[in-house]
């Protein structure tokens, strides 16, 4: 007798015994834990101030992205790649919206008073977002704005990020919109029978880590103090004078994560960050 419970349990059992899936799920766990720790590190430092809108705390986005990565992990535990890719697009959109907040804030001239109707397009997007009224903001507009930031402009061209983002967007959209019979969820047994498990796990892992490293790379360029270690603030809190240059010390978990995965972007991206920001990655 058919039992859906047994069917899904057998599916998960297959995943749990497959080395490609085991490696993928371990990678997704690393990403989840990294984002969780980054959220704690950045808390209080990721406030942005905008004309009319006022102060905005972006930390909720990091927390949400961490939870989305956990949902993605569970999709992969069930071999549901179509669902995982759909959530991965949300994950990408949310992380780069976080960077978008800093980019727009840097361009917001707080010395000039304007009415809401006089805000520029990006400032109005933030105002609408804060008031839960944002509509029809496409990721392309967000990435274009980020790429225009003086600290990111050269890096986007140098590391050919636009080409990589466009290529990734096509893959994500194929799964979100089910643009072919391949872009649906399939059981573990079907994937195994088609000899697709190794390929699917490899491609998904590369996409997830590319999004995360690209996000980290750009957010550090635009707001480098987000990754400053706790030491500087710890000195201040106990009334001591922080050592010279300690504001450039980087939390070790950030350096470790970037060093372990920088090759998906470029092996030189960490040295580029050191050169442009002074942070001791």
Which residues of the chain fall below pLDDT 50?
none
Residue 246 lies in a domain: no
pLDDT of residue 229: 95
pLDDT of residue 236: 84
Which residue range forms the structural domain that includes residue 159? 8-223
pTM listed for this prediction: 0.94
Residue 276 in any domain: the answer is no
pLDDT of residue 241: 87
Strand partners, 50: 54
The answer to the question of residue 167 being in a domain is yes
pLDDT tens column, 118-128: 999 999 999 99
Q: What is the pLDDT of residue 5?
A: 64
**What pLDDT, on the 0 to 100 scale, is given for residue 170?**
96
Q: How far apart are CA 261 and CA 212, in angstroms?
A: 9
Residues 6+ apart with CB under 8 A from 160: none
Question: Is residue 107 included in any domain, yes or no?
Answer: yes
Task: State the pLDDT at residue 130.
Answer: 97
Residue 2 confidence (pLDDT): 54
What is the pLDDT, as a whole number, of residue 254? 98
Q: How many domains in the chain?
A: 1
For 63-66, which contacts have Cβ atoms below 8 Å and span 24 or more sequence positions? 63/39, 64/94, 65/35, 65/91, 65/94, 65/95, 65/98, 66/32, 66/35, 66/36, 66/39
Asked if residue 242 is part of any domain, the answer here is no
pLDDT of residue 242: 87
pLDDT of res. 116: 93
pLDDT at res. 4: 61
Question: 1 in a domain, yes or no?
Answer: no
Is 275 a member of any domain? Answer: no
Output the pLDDT for position 72: 98
Residues 96-113 have pLDDT tens digits of: 999 999 999 999 988 888
In a domain, 247, yes or no: no
Compute the distance between CA of residue 23 and CA of residue 21 in angstroms, rounded to an integer: 5
């Amino acid at each position: 007798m058919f039992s859906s419970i047994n069917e899904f349990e057998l599916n998960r059992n297959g995943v749990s015994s497959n080395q490609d899936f085991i490696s993928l799920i371990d990678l997704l766990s690393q990403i989840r834990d990294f984002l969780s720790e980054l959220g704690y590190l950045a808390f209080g430092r990721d406030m942005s101030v905008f004309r009319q809108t006022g102060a905005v705390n972006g930390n909720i986005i990091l927390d949400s992205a961490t939870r989305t990565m956990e949902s993605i992990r569970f999709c992969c535990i069930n071999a549901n790649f179509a669902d995982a890719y759909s959530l991965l697009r949300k994950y990408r959109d949310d992380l780069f919206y976080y960077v978008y907040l800093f980019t727009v804030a840097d361009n917001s001239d707080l010395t000039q008073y304007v009415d809401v109707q006089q805000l520029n397009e990006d400032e109005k997007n933030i105002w609408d977002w804060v008031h839960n009224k944002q509509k029809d903001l496409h990721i392309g507009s967000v990435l274009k704005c980020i790429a225009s930031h003086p600290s990111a402009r050269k890096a986007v061209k140098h590391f050919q990020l636009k080409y990589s983002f466009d290529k990734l967007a096509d893959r994500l959209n194929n799964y979100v919109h089910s643009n072919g019979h391949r872009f649906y969820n399939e059981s573990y047994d079907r994937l195994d029978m088609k000899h697709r498990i190794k390929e699917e796990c490899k491609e998904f892992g590369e996409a997830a880590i590319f999004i995360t490293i690209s996000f980290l790379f750009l957010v550090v360029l635009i707001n480098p103090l987000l990754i400053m270690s706790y030491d500087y603030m710890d000195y201040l809190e106990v009334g001591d004078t922080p050592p010279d240059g300690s504001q450039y010390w980087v939390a070790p978990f950030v350096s470790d994560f970037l060093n372990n995965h920088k090759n998906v972007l470029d092996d030189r991206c960490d040295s580029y960050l050191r050169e442009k920001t002074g942070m001791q990655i």
